[in-house]
Structure 1
């Protein structure tokens, strides 16, 4: 494998709207991010991925872009962005932006021109079709519920949107669209951007001709994923984008890829892959149901272990996964993967350690490094997230009471990860002097950065130690490029694996609150990381406290 500059990096996702507000309007901004670069450098992260900060009406929190060349005034100015790139560079850090090019906003000039003249040049920038006998062109259901088709006022035509109706899909079959996308990508990379996180990219290729599929709910619609499973040829677009944009700039790219076919792995993240890396979503999608969140199956420690190992086996040494516990689209990882009521300090560290030592690029989501948890909703009126509101309605329609529906969607709501970053115990947790756009998590007085930065036993300090181990000259080659071999797989609620390279490390976690004694595969030479003060073992057995996590040199 050709070694790349990004292989040994640790990434950190910033949700700008909720990170830090410096002007009192209740919305985080670029100046807030600039002011915390030293905090992030101290933690040890190298790559900062910013969720969208482009001009947007925010129907889907900025993933509906109205102008790809400008910063939304909510976040600041282009001068602020240029300052952020420069000041990050001074600290040997890289800025990565979201690349959202499956769709734009219905307020983008292209779509406005398409609606004014659906049969003209810009009409072909989108998927616009005639209704037949008052019916939509296909029976696909969008990711946010309801049909993927919406009317163009004053016509008999509709446009396709895989997501929200204010997010019309771009027609990648049109070469003019692709040229506009590549022009914009290169414009940003020329500014000094380190690369992109690439949003919903598999969706750019549709199965043509467009047609109906078997309905999967009583609404007569089918999931859009049914169409995507039949779409072939996305690689032609992705290889073109790689060669025209990413390769010439040696950019880091990580794909949000859910639906690639198994045989396509090398094409996506191999030596000459479309992307540098792709996220491992095995754990996040586990237990999902076509019916909705109300029918989702809770993930157990055994499920989590098997999901991680399946992803690692699938990729092997073909390329690099980007490993996550949470992101802006998921609930908080400690609330999702740890059993209810078990968000202890030790359990949070164990979960972080097991994820961090996997082969691949670790991604920390803002607040994960201090163990932020799901928030509390007292009413559906407190919810901002459109996906949660849609699922709340779906749950009511399934026969649940409003109270039951709120409880169900609260577990999975994307707003859990979007509550303001918890900086300290002052009013509004130090996020803003104004009124925060989303209510702060009431537990901020107990979980915040200020308390943890000087506490040797905090979650923050534990993540810092993990990053330091990953960068350590002696262990770096093994942790970055070494193989991963699962061990003790049959031991219930034990997740253990070797990392083998020039050195051999054993990573082991007791994924439950009760103590366990399990076989010790090999005698350790040294304890590199331990989330307790002590550990008990002999030549054949190791005694693990509840939630104990260890990195051992073998």
Structure 2
């Protein structure tokens, strides 16, 4: 594998609205990010991905962009962003922006012009179609529920929105639209941005002409992914974008790509791939039901292990995946992958080590490094996320009681990750001196950075050790480039793998349950590189792992 500048880096995702508020309006801002750059440097972070900060009406928390060249006043100014870029560079930190180009906002100038003349130049910037028999052009359902088509006034015309109705899809078949997008990307790269996380990118290619599919719910609609599964030619768009933009600046790019086929992986992340990396979502999509969140199946420890190893196997020899346990669109990883009732600091540290030391680019989501958990909101009225509100209604319509529906969305709500960062145990967890835009989780007095910074045995300090280990010059080649070889697969609720390098091998092994487990070591180890307990119990070649103990052993 050709070595790249970003291979040995560690990335951190910031959801600016919930990170740090400096002006008391209850919304995090760019000055808040600037104020915490030293903290991120201390943690060991290299690359910072900012969720959208562009001008937006916030129908979908900034993923509906009304001006790609402006900063939303909620977050600050372009001068604030330039200061952030400059201050980051002083600390050898790189800034990524979110690239949202499948859709824009219905308040964007292009769409406003399209509404005035749907059959004119700007109408062709979007997918505007005649209705069919007095109904929508096709029966595809948007990701947020309901038809993916919205009627334009009292005309017989409809526009496509695979997400919220205020997020009209851009027509990538139009070369003028593509050029507008590439010009915008290059404008940001010239400002000193190091690259992008690329949002919902597999949606840019539609299967045309639009047609109906077999309904999969009583609403008579069909999952829009059925249409996307039919499309062909998305790679042509992606490689054109790469050549016109990213490649010219040696930018780091990570794509939000779901359900890619193994034979396509090289096109995405191979040596001549369209992106530097793509996220591994195999664990996050496991158990998902077409019926809705209320019907999702659990991810058991053995399921989690299989998802990780399957992803590692298909990426080996091709390129780097980006590894996560959570992000702004997912519940907290420790609440999702650790069985209910078993969440503890030991379990949080174990999960951290198991995912972080896989081959690929490790991403940490804000608050993950202190083990933030899912939120126990008591009413559906406390949720802000449009997906959560839609899934709550889906559960009710399928016969669940209000309480059952609330429990269902609690497990998967995006707001679990969007509540304010818990800096300390003061009011609003130190996030704001005003009224936080989303309620602070009630567990902040016990789970916060201030307490954990003072405790050398905390989850926070374990993450620091993990990052330092991956960057340690002595082991870096093995932990960055070494092949992943699964081990002890015959044992239940135990996840173990070797990282095989040219001159050494390292075993990462975690006991994914509360009871002790004994394992037979194939050979004696030379050194313990990391342990989430104070001791190791061993007899000869036998190793006794305590509940949720994780060890990193050098052989």
TM value normalised by structure 1: 0.99
Q: Tell me the CA shift for residue 342 of structure 1.
A: 1.6
Q: Which residue of 2 aligns with 1:224?
A: 224
Q: Which residue of 1 aligns with 2:304?
A: 304
Correspondence 1:118 to 2:118 = yes
Correspondence 1:510 to 2:517 = no
Q: Which residue of 1 aligns with 2:447?
A: 447
Q: Which residue of 2 aligns with 1:64?
A: 64
Q: Which of 222-231 and 210-219 deviates more?
A: 210-219
Deviations 1:126-168 (A, max 9, x none): 0000112211111101101111000111421000001000000
Q: Which residue of 2 aligns with 1:389?
A: 389
Deviations 1:417-446 (A, max 9, x none): 000000000000000000000000000000
Q: Tell me the CA shift for residue 210 of structure 1.
A: 1.2
Residues 202 and 260 in structure 1, CA contact (< 8 A), matched pair in contact too:
no
Equivalent-residue separation in structure 2 for 1:324 and 1:76 (angstroms): 29
Q: Which residue of 2 aligns with 1:251?
A: 251
Alignment of 1:229-240 (within 5 A): 229-240=229-240
Secondary structure of 1:92 counterpart: coil
Q: Which residue of 2 aligns with 1:551?
A: 552
Equivalent-residue separation in structure 2 for 1:490 and 1:288 (angstroms): 26
Q: Which residue of 1 aligns with 2:432?
A: 432
Deviations 1:506-525 (A, max 9, x none): 00000011111122232110
Q: Which residue of 2 aligns with 1:215?
A: 215
Deviations 1:265-307 (A, max 9, x none): 1000000100000000000011000000111001110000001
Q: Which residue of 1 aligns with 2:526?
A: 525
Correspondence 1:51 to 2:60 = no
Equivalent-residue separation in structure 2 for 1:398 and 1:245 (angstroms): 46
Q: Tell me the CA shift for residue 259 of structure 1.
A: 3.1
Equivalent-residue separation in structure 1 for 2:298 and 2:17 (angstroms): 29
For structure 2, list consecutive stretches of 5 or more residues without a partner in the other structure.
Answer: none
Q: Tell me the CA shift for residue 330 of structure 1.
A: 0.4
Q: Which residue of 2 aligns with 1:345?
A: 345
Q: Which residue of 2 aligns with 1:31?
A: 31
Equivalent-residue separation in structure 2 for 1:400 and 1:154 (angstroms): 36
Secondary structure of 2:265 counterpart: helix
Q: Which residue of 1 aligns with 2:280?
A: 280
Deviations 1:238-285 (A, max 9, x none): 000000100000000000000322211100000010000000000001
Deviations 1:440-466 (A, max 9, x none): 000000000111112110001000000
Q: Which residue of 2 aligns with 1:317?
A: 317
Q: Which residue of 1 aligns with 2:96?
A: 96
Equivalent-residue separation in structure 1 for 2:324 and 2:374 (angstroms): 16
Alignment of 1:60-209 (within 5 A): 60-209=60-209
Q: Which residue of 2 aligns with 1:11?
A: 11
Equivalent-residue separation in structure 1 for 2:209 and 2:521 (angstroms): 57
Residues 207 and 230 in structure 1, CA contact (< 8 A), matched pair in contact too:
yes
Q: Tell me the CA shift for residue 232 of structure 1.
A: 0.6
Alignment of 1:454-493 (within 5 A): 454-493=454-493
Secondary structure of 1:209 counterpart: coil
Q: What do you get for the CA RMSD once the two structures are aligned?
A: 0.7
Secondary structure of 1:193 counterpart: coil
Q: Which residue of 1 aligns with 2:420?
A: 420
Residues 420 and 431 in structure 1, CA contact (< 8 A), matched pair in contact too:
yes
Q: Tell me the CA shift for residue 477 of structure 1.
A: 0.4
Residues 496 and 507 in structure 1, CA contact (< 8 A), matched pair in contact too:
yes
Q: Tell me the CA shift for residue 216 of structure 1.
A: 1.1
Secondary structure of 2:444 counterpart: helix
Residues 522 and 539 in structure 1, CA contact (< 8 A), matched pair in contact too:
no
Equivalent-residue separation in structure 2 for 1:25 and 1:69 (angstroms): 24
Equivalent-residue separation in structure 2 for 1:49 and 1:326 (angstroms): 14
Residues 102 and 170 in structure 1, CA contact (< 8 A), matched pair in contact too:
yes
Secondary structure of 1:353 counterpart: helix
Q: Which of 363-372 and 511-520 deviates more?
A: 511-520
Q: Tell me the CA shift for residue 539 of structure 1.
A: 3.8
Equivalent-residue separation in structure 2 for 1:241 and 1:542 (angstroms): 51
Give every structure 1 segment of 4 or more consecutive aligned residues whose post-TM-superposition deviation is greater than 4 Å. Answer: none
Q: Which residue of 2 aligns with 1:538?
A: 539
Residues 494 and 508 in structure 1, CA contact (< 8 A), matched pair in contact too:
yes
Q: Tell me the CA shift for residue 214 of structure 1.
A: 1.2
Residues 228 and 259 in structure 1, CA contact (< 8 A), matched pair in contact too:
no
Equivalent-residue separation in structure 1 for 2:44 and 2:542 (angstroms): 35
Residues 279 and 321 in structure 1, CA contact (< 8 A), matched pair in contact too:
yes
Residues 514 and 546 in structure 1, CA contact (< 8 A), matched pair in contact too:
yes
Residues 497 and 506 in structure 1, CA contact (< 8 A), matched pair in contact too:
yes
How many pairs does the alignment contain?
554
Q: Tell me the CA shift for residue 385 of structure 1.
A: 0.3
Equivalent-residue separation in structure 2 for 1:399 and 1:368 (angstroms): 35
Q: Tell me the CA shift for residue 540 of structure 1.
A: 2.7
Equivalent-residue separation in structure 1 for 2:347 and 2:140 (angstroms): 41
Equivalent-residue separation in structure 2 for 1:181 and 1:539 (angstroms): 62
Equivalent-residue separation in structure 2 for 1:523 and 1:379 (angstroms): 54
Secondary structure of 1:393 counterpart: helix
Deviations 1:293-333 (A, max 9, x none): 11100111000000100110111121000000000000001
Q: Tell me the CA shift for residue 490 of structure 1.
A: 1.2
Residues 202 and 259 in structure 1, CA contact (< 8 A), matched pair in contact too:
no
